[in-house]
Structure 1
Amino acid sequence: MYIIPFMTFLFITDELVLVSSETPVYNAKLPSRITALSGSCVQIPCTFEAPENELKNATSIFGFWMKNYPYPEPWALVVFNGSTNISKGFSHIEITGNLSQRECTTVFYDVMNNHSDSYYFRVEIKPHWKYSYLNPINISVSDSPQPLIFKPTDLKAVMEETTVSLSCSAEAPCPKQPPTISWSNIPESAHITTQLQEKPNKTQSVFSHMTFKASYMDHRKNISCTATYPRKTSKDSTVETTVMLQVLFPPKETRIKIDPSASVSVGTNVTLTCKSKANPSNNMIFYWHKRGQDNQLDLGEQLTFTVNRSSGGWYFCIAKNEHGIQMSEEIQLIVPELSVRLITGCVGGILALLLFLLATLLKRAQTARASSESIVRETDQDREQIDCIYVNDFIKRVK
């Protein structure tokens, strides 16, 4: 409140009032501008100044809202009349603040695009004090929600195992129907808190805070924050923002790939490739080693050579970047020439043994057959001799 130091003048409202040079000027405290979402409501935070004695002696207090002009009809449209509780141009308007405590917070319901305009607050304290506040609030109605505020705005690369904090806030012009905030691609270690917060200008927003420990598995992960606004339309409105997480980490999951296979013959060209995940990866160094050999075999992601009899054995690689090193598991390269010869010799020996056994069985079978035929011949000769004796004896008796 302050005093106007000017000379006496006429101040025109809905009635003529004579004002002296010492007439105090009162203010209403409310945002100068607010953006509402069509099909939803909008809450206007508001407090006002008024004479202490008028409030103390008040028999009743009423609040009013005028569109585009601070004074009532016929100069401006009274969109809300507190004395009659009638709204014009809106489905419903409600003063939720306690006027006796100088609180004039008001909710305009079901705002539409044609409601975009400047609105002035007026108070009437019975029996005789009336005042229109000259600082308006400009309500702008949009079909789309306001963009989300994402922090940090510039997400830099973070080291593995460090704690990362992300926040996402969405305007809540209608705290009675606030937006819901959801996150996607959430890291396993994430902890999320969400709450309705009041901003310095007394408007509100939904604030969501997420913390997690960075893992190499989160590298290049797109983390999204989405706000969904309920409204009286066929579909809810959503707004989303996405950030890509960059994680710095030493080599992980280091392994060896063999081409063409882990078992090769002498004279075959073999390529061993060292695979590893790391960030940064453009300056990685790869070292090649063989179990039992002190000297390093080679440098580079690939190791290519022609297989000889001494190439068989266990190989491993070491991957290194600026953040650390990792050794792969050993992988065995098999050169099967000697094994094949041994198997061939064994098979040949078994075949020779089988042939020998077969020949022996055939010889025994032939011997048995010859013996049987000899016995048969001897038996036939004996029968012939017996037959001759019987015949000669028969002839003698006849004679």
Structure 2
Amino acid sequence: MTDCTAGALEMSVFPFMVFLFFTNELVLVSSETAELPSSITALSGSCVQIPCTFEVPEDVLKNAERIFGLWIKHDHAFNKQGSLVVYNGSTNISKGFSHIEITGNLSQRECTTVFYDVMNNHSDNYYFRVEIKPQDWKYSYQNPINIFVSASPQPLIFKPTDLKAVMEETTVSLSCSAEAPCPKQPPTISWSNIPESAHITTQLQEKPDKTQSVFSNMTFKASYMDHRKNISCTATYPRKTSEDSTVETTVLQVLFSPKETHITINQSTSVSVGTNVTLTCKSKANPSNNMIFSWHKRGQDNQLDLGEQLIFTVNRSSGGWYFCIAKNEHGTQMSKEIQLIMEGSVSSLDQSLIIGCVVGVSAILLTFLLITLFLRVQRVKASTIMETDVSDQGQEKQVETIYANGGFVSGEELEMPKDENDIVHYGEIDFSTPQTKIPTVQGSGQETVYAEVRGPGKEMNQD
């Protein structure tokens, strides 16, 4: 399309023909449009991508040999005073920008363009213009896009915006999206205080107006350990400024039954009669403002008391195992038992240790005694065998044992005959009168003579 000045000049020279041409051009102007967002926010120090498509008559495009795209700042008129051609595709020259690149395929009616190194003074309306050769078809589309350059990133979109308390074990889904005015340099999204079971996916998405954003989704099962977590989402933009990120935070509220229930005591668990004891029941729960605590003692059916604390003065029957139960609207939990020991008394654990030691020592002693008895029996058997003639050839003879006046003399202490000619004689010994001579030994041959032995003051009859 020619500009208005050229159109007026041509009308004065060729009034009829120009009128028809001008009338035809007006029809083109009223019917052809470019599809692009009405506005876009760019981030200073970064780039901005403008999604763009345009309309052109099919016969013009079909016979095109060369197609050029142009971008005009402030006004759509190509040569109007005040307007500025910031990019001319026919010469590939950029003005006011370090670099501008049309990434769309113009032959496919695509005019998507990237403006690099956008600065605050670049905020304005921009118009797209196309020129087609050899038909010399030129047209400036009159619907502009307004580029607004901001020094700070746009706020994140955090969903759900009204996150309410969730029940534990419930699946929670949080999403965070950040504008990506320059998809070639998209922001990086990160999460903090990530729950242990979280699964995160992040991708670049196109919005209905063809602009893009980075979308990150995190799903997890709510745990009581996630209660009151400040879960935040941060988008960081790759640019050379100090303000390169934006953050959104939500506080997670989880409803759960009592957890980690336990007892604390104000002093040692070893107490004496007359001591004041305070037991406190601790538990995590949400809600916690309406929790109920009950106190119990092992071996007793009735509960001791209600309340977070159990306070009492120790008496002789106070020793034993205590526990508490915490309850809210979502459930209950019992604490571990705590033992209260009376000073001077032996605990069941100590009793078990003592009994175990006694049993162990007794077992050792019994084993030792059995082994000793066994060894003695073996020695007795061995002695008996030695005193018995066990030789088949009769080389050893049994030696009788002589008992005299309650004394004991073993056969081993008697001197055995040295050869077969030696004769053993037994004599008579009289203890009634003093003896100065050795009794005469009688006997002959192989016979053995048995004599009567008399003690002083008493006689024994001979058989």
Match of 1:162 in 2: 170
Match of 1:78 in 2: 85
Residue of structure 2 aligned with 1:211, choices 216, 219, 226: 219
* TM-score computed with the length of structure 1 as normaliser: 0.80
Report if aligned partners of 2:3, 2:78 keep a CA contact under 8 Å in 1: no
Alignment map for 1:231-310 (pairs within 5 Å): 231=239, 233-235=240-242, 237-310=244-317
Residue of structure 2 aligned with 1:93, choices 96, 100, 110: 100
Match of 2:73 in 1: 67
Residue of structure 1 aligned with 2:318, choices 305, 311, 317: 311
Change (3 A) 1:142 1:135: same
Match of 2:56 in 1: 50
Asked whether 1:18 is paired with 2:25, we answer no
Higher strand share: 1
Cα deviation, residue 128, structure 1: 2.1
Give deviations 1:193-226, integer Å, cap 9, x for gaps.
1011100000000000110111100000001111
Cα deviation, residue 18, structure 1: 1.3
* TM-score computed with the length of structure 2 as normaliser: 0.69
**2:60 is paired with a residue of what secondary structure?**
helix
**1:155 is paired with a residue of what secondary structure?**
coil
Alignment map for 1:121-136 (pairs within 5 Å): 121-126=128-133, 127-136=135-144
Partner Cα distance (1:183, 1:118) in 2: 36
**1:18 is paired with a residue of what secondary structure?**
helix
Question: Identity over the aligned pairs, expressed in percent?
Answer: 78
Gaps of 5+ in 2: 8-20, 348-463
Match of 1:34 in 2: 40
Partner Cα distance (1:248, 1:314) in 2: 31
Give the CA RMSD over aligned residues. Answer: 1.6
Partner Cα distance (2:345, 2:108) in 1: 100
Cα deviation, residue 165, structure 1: 0.4
How many pairs align? 330
Cα deviation, residue 13, structure 1: 4.0
**1:72 is paired with a residue of what secondary structure?**
coil
**1:15 is paired with a residue of what secondary structure?**
helix
Report if aligned partners of 2:291, 2:327 keep a CA contact under 8 Å in 1: yes
Asked whether 1:146 is paired with 2:154, we answer yes
Report if aligned partners of 2:152, 2:243 keep a CA contact under 8 Å in 1: no
**1:334 is paired with a residue of what secondary structure?**
strand
Partner Cα distance (1:178, 1:163) in 2: 29
Gaps of 5+ in 1: 1-9, 341-399
**1:19 is paired with a residue of what secondary structure?**
helix
Match of 1:356 in 2: none
Asked whether 1:198 is paired with 2:202, we answer no
Report if aligned partners of 1:31, 1:45 keep a CA contact under 8 Å in 2: yes
**2:61 is paired with a residue of what secondary structure?**
helix
Amino acid at match of 2:188: T
Partner Cα distance (2:211, 2:178) in 1: 12
Q: Which runs of 4+ in 1 moved over 6 A?
A: none
Give deviations 1:274-304, integer Å, cap 9, x for gaps.
0000000000000100001111100000000
Partner Cα distance (1:282, 1:194) in 2: 39
Match of 2:231 in 1: 223
Match of 1:183 in 2: 191
Amino acid at match of 1:135: N
Determine which structure has greater relative contact order: mean sequence separation of CA pairs < 8 Å that are 6+ residues apart, divided by chain length: 1
Alignment map for 1:331-370 (pairs within 5 Å): 331-338=338-345
Which has the higher Rg, Structure 1 or Structure 2?
2
